[in-house]
Structure 1
């Protein structure tokens, strides 16, 4: 996860200063074909790029609305993917139009044209990693994660379709999302003292040097460029 921080201190939501005890996470997507973080996050920190239209969310009422989320996921100026925290995690956000604002951390994934599998895969993975981070931070599990449309069905959010108008286009759903979060949450931790240990795999033993060199060339051609010959 590429996590950065740019708190939207000019947003009226931040100025209210109300806090919550996070009980869950709500996943949103922006509903606009604009994957660039600079559309929503400001000022430019040297990575975002400048929003020439000034329609970012670091202002009192963005687009005339009382809206603010805890984070955005999307593209930096160089095209790479990042997450920007835009409110303190325990700040009451204005992200779902219902009582979920009192209980859930909400973040937005910047949408593109909804046809780019590469972009989707990158922001999906970034969102999974963000949720893993937040679950560990607030002792939550994958069961505490919903999207906006699920929040509506539970009666704690307004009637929006995100993210289920997007995820299924690439074979994903909130169930697969939660499963991916669970997989990372339950992955074994590295053994203390062994974070950099290497495990080597021998692919052959030869009495004729030419045969060993032929195998080395074959292995390197397959992409294992750090392969080598060791004599005994």
Structure 2
């Protein structure tokens, strides 16, 4: 994950100062053909690029709307993919309904994936992978799992969000669903858990006061097949 932070301190949502205990993650997409992070995150920090229209969300009510999410995923000025955290993770966002309403705001961390024209497979798979990384990070941070992740349209079906199609108007175009997304998060969480559970035992096989003797012995050890052997000076 390529994570940066630029908190939208001028947004009315941030200034409201409400906090939550995160119980889930809600995945959104922006609904506009504009993959550049600078459209929503600003001002320019040297990586985002300048937004000439100054219509990013770091203002009281962007576009006259009461909206704010915890993060955005999209393109930096150099075209690479990144995640920008835009609210503290435990801040109550305004993301799953018009304005401050919507019970999903009380329970879910939210992030938006910046849409392009929905047809670029390369871009899609990059932001899809970045979104998986973000969800894995948040799950580990708050003790959540893949079953706690939904998209906006699923939130509507559960009665906690407004009637929006995201992200199911986009993911299936590239052979993905929220189920495949959740499965990918599950696999990544399991892989990291297994990695953390591994224990390593090192065996010292020599101690020398002469550096040249140590180097000669290291050569013998490596020639014997122990190619990961190394010298540690103490």
- After TM superposition, the score normalised by the length of structure 1 is 0.83
Mapped partners of 1:49, 1:88: distance in 2:
23
Corresponding residue of 1:52:
52
The 5 A counterparts of 1:118-133 are 118-133=122-137
Corresponding residue of 1:135:
139
1:64 Cα deviation after fit = 0.5
Mapped partners of 1:115, 1:130: distance in 2:
23
1:156 Cα deviation after fit = 0.1
Mapped partners of 1:193, 1:43: distance in 2:
46
Mapped partners of 2:195, 2:136: distance in 1:
14
Corresponding residue of 1:43:
43
Q: Deviations over 1:165-192 (max 9, x none)?
A: 0000000000000000000001121545
Corresponding residue of 1:4:
4
Aligned residues: 197
Mapped partners of 2:118, 2:42: distance in 1:
24
1:193 Cα deviation after fit = 5.0
Mapped partners of 1:119, 1:113: distance in 2:
10
Gap regions ≥5 residues in structure 1: 195-229
CA RMSD of aligned residues (A): 1.5
The one of 177, 181, 186 aligned to 1:173: 177
Corresponding residue of 1:111:
115
Mapped partners of 1:76, 1:193: distance in 2:
39
1:43 Cα deviation after fit = 1.2
Corresponding residue of 1:20:
20
Mapped partners of 1:132, 1:160: distance in 2:
24
Helix, strand or coil: the match of 1:31?
coil
The one of 158, 163, 167 aligned to 2:167: 163
Gap regions ≥5 residues in structure 2: 202-222, 226-234
